[in-house]
Structure formats: structure tokens, C-alpha cells
Amino acid sequence: MSDFTPTEMMTIAAARALTNDDVCFVGIGAPSAACNVARLTHAPDITLIYESGTVGTKPELLPLSIGDGELCDTALFTVSVPEMFRYWLQGGRITTGFLGGAQIDRFANLNTTVVGPYDHPKVRLPGGGGAPEIASNCGQIFITMALSKRGFVDKLNFITSMGHGEGGNHRERLGMKTKGPTRVITDLCILEPHPVTRELTVVSIHQGVTREQISDNCGWPIQFADTVIDTPVPTETELKTLRDINARTKKAHQAGREAA
């Protein structure tokens, strides 16, 4: 078995969460890498949808943004953004959303707007884009983020995308009929909401990682499930697939910069 990095472990663990039957709304970055590894390995029939309206896309390279031409060039078809959100997303036709974020709290609410006071923030982030709608309307949500105290915080300054709100049945009380975040995949472990409180709970720990490391990198007193399993290590096929698409992407983007 080859050595692998924590980021590779996170991406491959996230890819494994997807199936052939998923219709998946894909975020840029780590979610895109995970979804395309799934497509190129165990889930060749997965339907990948990006926010720009590309449906059934099969990119050879990881896109730089939702407007990357690679997505439209390899899509089964492309629809307008209003149609994508109103008919496909709000119509309940997408089973899974795959998101990342700058910050997350213990109930899987995401912040991609500001760090600090809204009117005078320490950091102004890219904003929500379509993520709030994705978090509300996809059947379930998977989240990929590296585990750190900077990202996993006790209290968010701003909630951009709703997770489980204040915990418990908060989504139901707001009239939301979808499951919300069902899994958070990090570079150290995998978390899932507690069935009653909805607080994120460690259910799987990656190879070589200790409980102390996980606790030390989280901004709240993190909970562990009664039964915690060891995350299966990446296979040679999974690693080769991920590294190949990353290498192709890097080479193409370098060539583009040199040509410019």
C-alpha cells in the first residue's frame, strides 16, 4: 500500500460516500475532487450537476470554478441557472449536495460569508453562492473540510448555509423536509450527526490519528460515538485515480498560464 496524505484520505473517504444512484450537486474544490473520484471508480453512473447548469458532466480535469468550460464541454446537457435552481434543486430532484466551507459549528451549520462582525469583519469570505439553497433542498448533504480550530468553531459569526440549526428537530420546525448534513468528512476523521441532538459525533478515525489529535483540532469539546471504527485506508486504484486527475488538472492549468 502506498503512503497517502491526510488530504488524499479525506477526498477518498468522501468519494466512498457516493453511489451510482446519486444525483449530486457538486461544490468546487475538495467536493469536486471527491465526486469525480467516485465517478471514475465505483460509481460510473453517478449524475454530477454543477451550479452553472451543467447536468451529467464528466470532466477530465477538475474545474477552477462553476463557470469552467470543461464542465459544459463534457455535460450531457446544460440548462439556465434559474432552471437549475427552480426545477432541479427546489423541485427535489437532487439526492445529494456536496459542500465545503470556511467555518462549521457542532450542528454542521456553515459560514462562507464573514469572520467577525458583519459590518466590520476581520475577513470577508466569498459568500454563499448557491450553497444555502443546496443545503436546504438536496435530499442530504455531505461536507468536506480539514479539521482545525480555525474552521471548526464553537460559534459562527454568520450562518450562510443551514445545517441542523440549534440542534434537535430545528430543521423540521422550520418546515424543511430534507435531511440536511448527514456526514462531515475531514482529514482526521468522519463525523455524523447524533440521531437525537444532531451534534456532530466522530464515527470513524483515519489511520494513524489519535482521539487527542481530533480533540485538539476542534473548537468545541468534540463527542465520540459509542462505537468508533477505523476508516479503511485508500486502495491503490483510489489513490491512482485521484493522483491522475490532480496531475492532469495541474498540467493543464500550468499550460494555460504559460500561454497567457
Would you please indicate which residues are annotated as catalytic (active-site) residues? Answer: 51
- What residue type is 176 in one-letter code? M
Contact criterion met (CB below 8 Å) for 77 and 98: no
The DSSP bridge pattern shows strands 47-50 and 23-26 to be: parallel
CA distance to 47, 49, 56, 69, 72, per residue, from 77 (Å): 12, 10, 7, 13, 8
Q: How far apart are CA 114 and CA 63, in angstroms?
A: 25
3-state secondary structure of 115: strand
Q: How far apart are CA 5 and CA 16, in angstroms?
A: 17
The DSSP bridge pattern shows strands 189-193 and 181-185 to be: antiparallel
Contact criterion met (CB below 8 Å) for 41 and 237: yes
Contact criterion met (CB below 8 Å) for 48 and 57: yes
Cα 206-207-208 angle, rounded to 5 deg:
115
